[in-house]
């Protein structure tokens, strides 16, 4: 898997939620802050106004606009900036249908605004630093001829939510993942245009560092050294180590260990694989060496971590990694 795909696979917990909503004016809705989540809104029909998370000036949204909230910040949507925002009846990411359709307000006159929303629960204990680079809100305005793949994913998802059919339980989550990845890819791709290529944006755009990152993510169990990763990057050892550390925020082998432990946590939570197999898949030649490394990272033994994680009990000893 590549870096971006891995980030989503590692962090997401449970099933994503989605809904297609018709809003009949006058309408206004507040979407509260939801730490540990990420969500998006797409305007399928009509227009509306967004009250951004930072409380700044309202932003006009039109058909095809996509807004993504990677850190779960609260915001508001309304037909008019002057319309008051209603408080939600419930947390939109609590247990609910995988997909839903709703109509808000009375269809008295005028064309309704139709939005497509989606939400994910994320595991803050396995937060990838790549997402830290994202702002509180990512706005991708509709532009003719741009982001055709985002538009295609939106059309497919909107069609499924408008008329669910056989296979929707599999198709909808896959389309939500696809749309989320397209949104993230579009944002990262646009950073060079904005002159804001720093951190992970710079790393993914840098052929040398990107090659090393993809090598780590494709095969975390490989016996990587600074020299072999530098060879993947086609740089000298010193030049590679300096550039990697500057962009990623930690040295190559520190990131490798962190990613191995993050992968191990996912395997412990989501599978019944023996500890010896988890150790092998994450690059450790013995269960003992793996257990020591895991305990240094998470503050608890891997077996205990698995029992608490699968029972839904927080691993209180867990570090912030």
DSSP 169-207: HHHHHHHHHHHHHHHHHHHHHHHHHHT---HHHHHHH-H
Q: Is 320 within a domain? A: no
Rounded Cα–Cα distance for residues 58 and 68 (Å): 16
User: Are residue 184 and residue 35 in the same domain, yes or no?
Assistant: yes
Q: What single DSSP character describes residue 86? A: B
Residues 231 and 181 in one domain: no
pLDDT for 18: 86
Nearest to 269 by CA among 318, 293, 302: 302
Any idea what the CATH number is for the domain that residue 80 is in?
A: 2.60.120.280
Chain centroid to Cα 52, Å, comes to: 19
* Structural domain includes residue 290: yes
Contacting residues for 124 by C-beta, under 8 A, at least 6 apart: 35, 36
Phi, psi of 265 (to 5 degrees): -60, -40
Say if residue 290 is in the same domain as residue 164: no
Of 193, 223, 251, which one is at a domain's C-terminal end? 193
Evaluated on CA atoms 290, 291, 296, 298, the torsion sign reads positive
What does the pLDDT profile of the chain (321 residues) look like in tens digits? 578 888 887 777 777 888 889 999 999 999 998 888 889 999 999 999 999 988 789 999 999 999 999 998 999 999 999 999 998 765 544 545 566 777 888 777 778 999 999 888 887 767 788 888 889 999 999 876 678 888 898 889 888 888 878 888 888 888 888 898 899 888 888 876 665 667 888 898 899 999 999 999 999 999 999 999 999 999 999 999 999 999 999 999 999 999 999 999 989 988 899 999 999 999 999 999 999 999 999 999 999 999 888 776 666 544 433
How far is the C-alpha of 149 from the C-alpha of 212, rounded, in Å?
27
Which of 164, 193, 222 represents a domain boundary (last residue)? 193
- Residues 217 and 183 occupy one common structural domain: no
Within 8 A by CB and 6+ apart from 205, the residues are: 188, 191, 192, 197
Neighbours of 47 (CB within 10 A): 13
Q: Do 3 and 84 meet the contact criterion of CB atoms below 8 Å apart?
A: no
Query: What's the pLDDT at 144?
Result: 64
Among residues 48, 38, 120, 41, the alpha carbon closest in space to that of 73 is found at 38
Give the CATH number for residue 292. 1.10.10.60
Do 230 and 251 reside in the same domain of the chain? yes
Do residues 160 and 28 share a domain?
yes
Q: How far is CA 56 from CA 37, 50, 75, 89, 96, in A?
A: 22, 10, 10, 25, 31
Give residue 271's domain range: 206-310
Strand order in the sheet with 59-61: 28-31, 75-78, 48-51, 59-61
Residues 88 and 168 in one domain: yes
> What is the number of domains present in the chain?
2
Alpha-carbon span 98 to 300, nearest angstrom: 34
Burial of 16 (0-12, 13-18, 19+ CB in 10 A): buried
180 and 216 part of one domain: no
Residues 213 and 269 in one domain: yes
């Amino acid at each position: 898997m590549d870096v971006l795909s891995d980030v989503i696979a590692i962090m997401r917990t449970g099933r994503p939620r989605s809904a297609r909503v018709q809003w009949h004016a006058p309408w206004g809705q507040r979407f509260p802050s939801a730490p540990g989540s990420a969500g998006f809104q797409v305007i399928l029909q009509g227009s509306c106004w967004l009250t951004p998370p930072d409380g700044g000036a309202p932003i006009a949204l039109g058909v095809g606009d996509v807004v993504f909230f990677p850190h779960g910040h609260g915001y508001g949507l309304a037909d008019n900036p002057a319309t008051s925002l209603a408080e939600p009846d419930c947390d939109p990411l609590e247990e609910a249908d995988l997909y839903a359709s709703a109509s808000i307000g009375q269809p008295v006159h005028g064309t309704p605004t139709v939005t497509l929303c989606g939400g994910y629960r994320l595991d803050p204990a396995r937060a990838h630093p790549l997402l830290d680079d994202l702002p509180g809100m990512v706005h991708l305005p509709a532009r003719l001829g741009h982001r055709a793949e985002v538009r295609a994913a939106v059309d497919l998802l909107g069609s499924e939510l408008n008329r669910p059919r056989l296979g929707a339980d599999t198709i909808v989550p896959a389309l939500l993942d696809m749309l989320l990845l397209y949104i993230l890819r579009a944002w990262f791709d646009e950073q060079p245009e904005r002159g804001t290529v720093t951190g992970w944006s710079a790393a993914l755009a840098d052929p040398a560092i990107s090659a090393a990152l993809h090598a780590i993510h494709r095969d975390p169990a490989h016996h990587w050294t600074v020299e072999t990763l530098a060879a993947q990057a086609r740089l000298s050892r010193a030049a590679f180590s300096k550039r990697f550390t500057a962009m990623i925020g930690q040295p190559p082998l520190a990131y490798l260990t962190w990613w191995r432990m993050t992968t191990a946590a996912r395997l412990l939570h989501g599978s019944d694989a023996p500890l010896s197999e988890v150790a092998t898949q994450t690059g450790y030649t013995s269960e003992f060496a793996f257990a020591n490394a895991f305990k240094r990272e998470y503050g608890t033994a891997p077996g205990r971590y698995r029992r608490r994680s699968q029972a839904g009990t927080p691993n209180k000893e867990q570090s912030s990694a």
